[in-house]
């Protein structure tokens, strides 16, 4: 978890990556175990808890941001990953408490400060979702006003 904390600014309760499994220059594989006590499960279909699709997307975006921290130059905390595009999100199965999610993101193209990626989530042999997205690495504004 410490490596995840060093790479992206996200923190619980809005952190959806538990650990980095594998990483190379253009792709990353991370893991997340869905816990029954997560707050969104209380209200997202009580009695039949389902991980919200928008949070599944966020898990992929966070994995992509971790990947891009290595492309940013400088220290990982010097730039903030900002979502710039979401395309072709497809949800194929439901994710529930107890599922161990494998989250993948692959860099497809770089245009200036913009990075375009493709991501997916699986749980065991079930494909949960796929999405294409864009991230920009924005320099942090550290001036005090």
Q: Which residues are catalytic?
A: 44
Burial classification of residue 12, based on how many CB atoms lie within 10 Å of its CB (0-12 exposed, 13-18 middle, 19 or more buried): exposed
Give the Cα separation of 91 and 23 in Å (integer): 25
Q: What contacts 130, CB < 8 A, 6 or more positions away?
A: 88, 89, 90, 92, 118, 119, 120
Give the Cα separation of 116 and 2 in Å (integer): 26
Helix (H, G, I), strand (E, B) or coil at 5: helix
* Beta strand pairing call for 126-139 and 79-91: antiparallel
Give the Cα separation of 86 and 26 in Å (integer): 19
Give the Cα separation of 130 and 91 in Å (integer): 7
């Amino acid at each position: 978890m410490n490596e995840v904390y060093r790479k992206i600014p996200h923190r619980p309760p809005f952190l959806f990556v538990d650990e980095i499994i594998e990483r190379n220059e253009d792709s990353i594989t991370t893991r997340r175990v869905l816990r029954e006590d997560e707050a969104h499960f209380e209200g997202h279909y009580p009695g039949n808890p389902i991980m919200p699709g928008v949070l599944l997307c966020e898990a992929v975006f966070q994995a992509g941001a971790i990947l891009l921290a290595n492309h940013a130059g400088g220290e990982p905390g010097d730039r903030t990953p900002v979502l710039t595009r979401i395309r072709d999100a497809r949800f194929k199965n439901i994710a529930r408490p107890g599922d161990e999610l494998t989250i993948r993101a692959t860099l497809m193209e770089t245009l200036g400060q913009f990075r375009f990626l493709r991501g997916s989530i699986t749980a065991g042999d079930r494909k949960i979702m796929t999405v294409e997205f864009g991230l920009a690495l924005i320099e942090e504004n550290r001036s005090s006003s």
